[in-house]
A and B are shown apart, each in its own frame.
Chain A
Amino acid sequence: GAVVSQHPSWVICKSGTSVKIECRSLDFQATTMFWYRQFPKQSLMLMATSNEGSKATYEQGVEKDKFLINHASLTLSTLTVTSAHPEDSSFYICSASWGETQYFGPGTRLLVL
Chain B
Amino acid sequence: QKEVEQDPGPLSVPEGAIVSLNCTYSNSAFQYFMWYRQYSRKGPELLMYTYSSGNKEDGRFTAQVDKSSKYISLFIRDSQPSDSATYLCAMSEEGQNFVFGPGTRLSVLP
Contacts and interface: CB of A to CB of B under 8 A. Distances in A.
A43 B90 contact: no
- In this complex, which of A4, A42, A49, A102 has the most chain B Cβ atoms within 10 angstroms of its Cβ? A102
Given A43-B102, A43-B103, A100-B51, A93 B96 contact: no
B95 A101 contact: yes
Chain A binding surface SS class = strand
Interface residues on A, range: 20 to 34
Interface stretch (A12-20, A62-70, A71-79, A103-111): A103-111
A99 B43 CA distance: 19
Interface in B51-110: 51, 88, 90, 92, 94-98, 100-103, 105
Interface of B: 32, 34, 36, 41-46, 49, 51, 88, 90, 92, 94-98, 100-103, 105
Interface of A: 1, 4, 6, 32, 41-44, 46, 49, 91, 93, 95, 97, 99-107, 109
